[in-house]
Structure 1
Amino acid sequence: MEYIKDAPFANIFVCNGDIDFHDYYYISPFKEIEDSIYYCVNRTGIESRVPSLFFVERDSTMSYCEVFCIFSGKGRLTFRGNTYELGKNQVIVLPAGEEHSYGSDEAEPLGMSWVEFYGGDSRRLTRHIVDTQGPVIEGMIFSDASAALGILQQKLMIDERQNVSLEIYRLLLEILKNERRYAMAEISQDVKANFSRVEAYIDAHLRDRITNSQLADVCGISLPYFIKQFKAIYRMTPQEFVMNRRLRKGRQMLMQTGLPVDEISEMLGFCNTSHFIRRFREKEKMTPAQYRGAYRIEQGL
């Protein structure tokens, strides 16, 4: 048996087989600053079967977030004082800066694909995911997340690193979308359809002033009940959702068009350009012009 202290990627790493047990393994030759505006891969890999004795332990100094998709075997995770049983068709999310450990069942070793990453708002998003869904996620999310992770790894296999930031974002987005699946599963089909109409109404009226009363009317329920249901489903107020939709559309327009910032601001219903810039900076940690410039550099434009 080998006992390996594998800093900086783990405080303790134990296995009893060949250290090179990966079917695919990538470690980035580049190291960006931790607060990079881009999402960056540190390492990623695929193991059809880890060694029968396999254990990883990390403390709060770990600077990388991790997502892994389990496609076979069994194991156990310890995180935030709780123990979780690991198994087939689970997605595991571990934020940076939080101690954890996980290991494989000796009789049924884990098979999995995984990625370590940092940058962007990866710490905030992964913490939000585990706060709302837990670190071990099951259900429909597995196929979507594993597909997104597979695309990310394929990009690296062919040395197509310029789109890696986008692929990490897509992976996180698939997991975030699962939060809404759980919330929507708890309400009736009629209410689901009503809230889908609310989303469509918001997207069609971003230029206009949108009130909670208008949205409640679209949904066909009373205003107090609408606000209560909305918060339960989306984990935010209706007006926070409207603002997020405006900023999301703003990001798309900055990337896909050459429209001036003041024109985009007007099209999204902001009272003035300064308001748009302030809200955009709060969300993205940069101005709209900086965001557009960073996107063009990333795309090589």
Structure 2
Amino acid sequence: MIGETGVLKDSERYYYEPDPFTAEHLFYSPHGGAYHCDKDYSLSRNSLDVNQIILVDSGTLTVEYEGETKTAHSGMIVLLDCRKPHRYYSGGDDLRMRWFHFTGNTSHAYTDLLLDQQGFVISSADLIPEIEHCCERILMLYGNAEPSPHVASVYLHRLLALLAITSKEKKKSELELSIEKTAEYMKGHLEEKDISLEVLAEMAGLSHYYYLRKFKEIYGLTPHKYLLTQRLRSSKELLTTTSLSIEEIGLTCGFSNPSHFIMAFRKNTDMTPFQYRNFWR
């Protein structure tokens, strides 16, 4: 029987102690369980060096995290970086939820990515059967006396990847589409040397400042850096697949002169274009 207030007697919990290899290299779950809770269930924590996924199967779970309060309903997933203060509690007398902490490998990086993409309550997870399957397998594996750490790590990694893919496949807003249009324009007009922030912002129908901020939020780069990255990527392809001269490739990819091309290329790769071509051909 679990001695937590509000956790009913048909609830289950597991603990797992990883071996040194698992702790250093794999994804793993040190704690988890399936809880049936009444209205008295509540948990408040300042910090724990793990991440947590909660699947709400019935009832509601109210979550306080990062200055926000949200309610997760049946079919929703809660994702938390438990290193930050958090609190959650039952919204009634019949909350059923499955949950597990996870850590190791790139767990914290994935959690940061997903929280940035979707927030801490993910509403569409119930639409993806593979997500449910992964969660079920993770809990089943760790419910055994001797779980396979490598198999469990595969399922944890797959779950995080599926959540990231699900976020990418969500319908894009008009704002996202307008900014994506400018990114596609840059990729299709690399040879143009005068693609300015003003032109791109006008194309998106946004002020310069707002366009710059939103573009960086979506792509993780400023428009200028994004354009430079695309030009360098195109130049690498031409260097390894054509016999065009260094000067021709630089001009084709929108660099104002060979010196500018060589300097930017060396800064990006620690090689000159000529050295890069010889290395990869």
- Letter of the structure 2 residue corresponding to residue 129 of structure 1: L
1:68 corresponds in structure 2 to: 54
Q: Is the alpha carbon distance of 1:3 and 1:161 closer, same or farther for their aligned partners in structure 2, counting shifts above 3 Å?
A: closer
- Of residues 13, 16, 21, the one that matches 2:11 is 21
- Letter of the structure 2 residue corresponding to residue 41 of structure 1: S
- Contact kept, 8 Å, 2:16 with 2:142, in 1: the verdict is no
1:95 corresponds in structure 2 to: 81
1:216 corresponds in structure 2 to: 188
Q: Counterparts in 2 of 1:1-301, with a 5 A limit?
A: 13-15=4-6, 17-18=8-9, 21-22=11-12, 25-30=13-18, 32=20, 36-47=24-35, 49-60=36-47, 62-107=48-93, 109-139=94-124, 141-144=125-128, 145-157=131-143, 159-182=147-170, 184-187=171-174, 213=186, 215-217=187-189, 225=200, 233-236=218-221, 238=226
Quote the offset at 1:59 in angstroms: 1.1
Quote the offset at 1:136 in angstroms: 0.8
1:186, 1:116 → 2: CA distance? 32
Q: Is the alpha carbon distance of 1:76 and 1:136 closer, same or farther for their aligned partners in structure 2, counting shifts above 3 Å?
A: same
1:259 corresponds in structure 2 to: none
Quote the offset at 1:67 in angstroms: 0.7
Please give the secondary structure, in 1, of the residue aligned with 2:24: coil
- Letter of the structure 2 residue corresponding to residue 74 of structure 1: T
TM-score by length of 2: 0.59
- Contact kept, 8 Å, 1:21 with 1:51, in 2: the verdict is no
Quote the offset at 1:51 in angstroms: 3.5
Quote the offset at 1:216 in angstroms: 2.8
- Contact kept, 8 Å, 2:141 with 2:152, in 1: the verdict is yes
- Contact kept, 8 Å, 2:11 with 2:33, in 1: the verdict is no
- Contact kept, 8 Å, 2:135 with 2:159, in 1: the verdict is yes
Please give the secondary structure, in 1, of the residue aligned with 2:84: coil
- Contact kept, 8 Å, 2:59 with 2:92, in 1: the verdict is no
1:115, 1:98 → 2: CA distance? 17
Aligned length: 213
Quote the offset at 1:122 in angstroms: 1.4
2:139, 2:172 → 1: CA distance? 31
Q: Is the alpha carbon distance of 1:165 and 1:102 closer, same or farther for their aligned partners in structure 2, counting shifts above 3 Å?
A: same
User: 5+ residue gaps in structure 2?
Assistant: 205-210, 234-264, 271-281
Quote the offset at 1:232 in angstroms: 5.9
Identity of aligned residues (%): 17
Please give the secondary structure, in 2, of the residue aligned with 1:174: helix
Quote the offset at 1:81 in angstroms: 2.2
- Contact kept, 8 Å, 1:96 with 1:123, in 2: the verdict is no
Q: Is the alpha carbon distance of 1:89 and 1:95 closer, same or farther for their aligned partners in structure 2, counting shifts above 3 Å?
A: same
Please give the secondary structure, in 1, of the residue aligned with 2:52: strand
TM-score by length of 1: 0.56
- Contact kept, 8 Å, 2:65 with 2:87, in 1: the verdict is yes
- Contact kept, 8 Å, 1:64 with 1:95, in 2: the verdict is yes
Quote the offset at 1:148 in angstroms: 2.2
Q: Is the alpha carbon distance of 1:193 and 1:124 closer, same or farther for their aligned partners in structure 2, counting shifts above 3 Å?
A: closer
1:37, 1:171 → 2: CA distance? 17
1:50, 1:34 → 2: CA distance? 32
- Letter of the structure 2 residue corresponding to residue 125 of structure 1: Y
Please give the secondary structure, in 2, of the residue aligned with 1:129: helix
